[in-house]
């Protein structure tokens, strides 16, 4: 047994879209609690991932990437992020190592600096596997310079690669060390507080995002309408029935998502079903329909219906 006190608390990952926040959250938790994609602005909800350790509990709050909002959805997401900042112990800003620090990053850092004094600021240099040691050194120096210019005192500056697993354990150690002493906040074994229907909808959305381009990724939303174990099944052969709707904004998008003779939708359903089966630990029957919610990203009523 070590003598270090038990610590627990909240760490929020922030950064511009595509900075690698969700991938890092999953790497730290050790399982997929947040979906990821190569499209910017994938994350639309606040996902809490929980890291359990003998010496503490780290609750990671993965947030949507902050950007200049172009739609009502964009505005709602930015508000959501700033609201979560007030409830955390540490704000960790992600700066991807393969990109120069830009005005968007500076704005995020500035806002993080307006938070209560007690909240600690950490800089994470993400995606270090994509660059060489010289570029990493330059990036770390840039982060430190941005800190001095904006008057931010970085509690830590940590380079990591969530993909390669480099320094992920070290980051967990350092973050835990910044948390207050306190009891566990979630039961042993809980890896996220997202309800199953939300996780399932997200896995379907992740499968649907793969291979679509331009505006379409932003137009896709998924809602699970029903999810229940099928009755009259033998105890050793359970089956989960899931009915979900995949929404797009326009008729032309519907055709793309469904594909030639339904081939694309079938493929999305198949890939999502495998992931959902993994998540829930039971075989799944997935009934997936594509519907149109016209211009939902800009329509308050539709946004409400879709859970924003
Ligand atoms: N090579 C490499 N790629 C990474 C790493 N971390 C994330 N990525 C990739 O970067 C892209 C964005 O990753 P996400 O984790 O979805 O980024 P995010 O910051 O959560 O993005 P938003 O949800 O848009 O805010 C994905 O294609 C990831 O596979 C990393 O450590 N190395």
**Cβ-Cβ contacts under 8 Å for 221 (sequence gap 6 or more):** 205, 246, 247, 293, 296, 306
Cα of 18 vs centre of ligand 1, distance in Å, is 5
What is the structure's pLDDT at 65?
66
What is the structure's pLDDT at 1?
52
> In angstroms, what CA-CA distances link 289 with 218, 270, 292?
18, 13, 10
What is the structure's pLDDT at 94?
96
**Nearest CA owner, ligand 1 atom 13:** 20
> In angstroms, what CA-CA distances link 203 with 43, 51, 194, 246, 260?
12, 21, 12, 12, 23
Tell me the ipTM for this assembly. 0.97
Q: Mean pLDDT, consecutive 10-residue segments, the chain of 308 residues?
A: 83 90 92 81 78 93 74 79 78 96 92 84 97 97 96 96 97 96 90 87 92 86 94 93 96 93 95 93 95 90 83
Number of the ligand 1 atom closest to the C-alpha atom of 130: 1
Is 19 assigned a ligand-binding role in the annotation?
A: yes
CB distance 96 to ligand 1 below 6 Å: no
Write phi, then psi, for 263 (nearest 5 degrees): -65, -40
Give the orientation angle of helix 72-85 with respect to helix 103-113, to 10 degrees: 40
What is the structure's pLDDT at 2?
57
Strands (E) located in the chain? 7-14, 47-53, 56-62, 90-96, 120-126, 154-159, 221-229, 240-248, 284-292
Q: H or E segment at 30? A: none
**Residue in 20, 68, 96, 166 to alter for ligand 1 test, most ligand atoms within 8 A of Cβ:** 20
CB distance 166 to ligand 1 below 6 Å: no
Answering whether pTM is above 0.90, one says no
Structural domains present in the chain: 7-177 (3.40.50.300), 196-305 (3.30.300.20)
What is the structure's pLDDT at 172?
96
Q: Which residues pair with 125 in a beta bridge?
A: 95, 159
């Amino acid at each position: 047994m070590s003598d270090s006190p038990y610590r627990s608390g909240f760490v929020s990952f922030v950064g511009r879209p595509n900075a690698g926040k969700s991938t890092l959250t999953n790497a730290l938790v050790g399982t997929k609690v947040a979906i990821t994609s190569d499209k910017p602005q994938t994350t639309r909800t606040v996902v809490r991932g929980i890291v359990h350790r003998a010496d503490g509990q780290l609750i990671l709050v993965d947030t949507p990437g902050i950007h200049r909002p172009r739609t009502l959805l964009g505005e709602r997401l930015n508000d959501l992020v700033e609201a979560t900042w007030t409830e955390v112990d540490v704000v960790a800003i992600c700066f991807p190592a393969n990109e120069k620090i830009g005005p968007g990053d500076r704005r995020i850092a500035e806002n993080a600096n307006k938070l209560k004094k007690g909240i600690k600021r950490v800089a994470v240099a993400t995606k270090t596997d994509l660059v060489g040691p010289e570029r990493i050194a330059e990036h770390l120096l840039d982060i430190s310079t941005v800190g001095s210019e904006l008057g931010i005192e970085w509690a830590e500056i940590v380079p990591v690669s969530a993909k390669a697993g480099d320094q992920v354990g070290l980051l967990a150690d350092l973050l835990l060390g910044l948390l207050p002493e306190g009891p566990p906040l979630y039961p042993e074994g809980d890896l996220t507080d997202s309800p199953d229907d939300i996780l399932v909808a997200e896995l379907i959305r992740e499968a649907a995002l793969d291979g679509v381009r331009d505006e379409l990724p932003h137009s896709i939303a998924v809602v699970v309408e029903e999810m229940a174990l099928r009755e009259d099944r033998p105890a050793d052969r359970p089956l989960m029935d899931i009915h979900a709707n995949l929404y797009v904004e326009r008729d032309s998008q519907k055709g793309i998502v469904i594909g030639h003779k339904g081939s694309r939708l079938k493929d999305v359903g198949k890939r999502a079903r495998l992931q959902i089966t993994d998540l829930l630990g039971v075989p799944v029957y997935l009934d997936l329909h594509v519907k149109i919610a016209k211009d939902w990203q800009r329509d308050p009523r539709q946004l409400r219906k879709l859970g924003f």
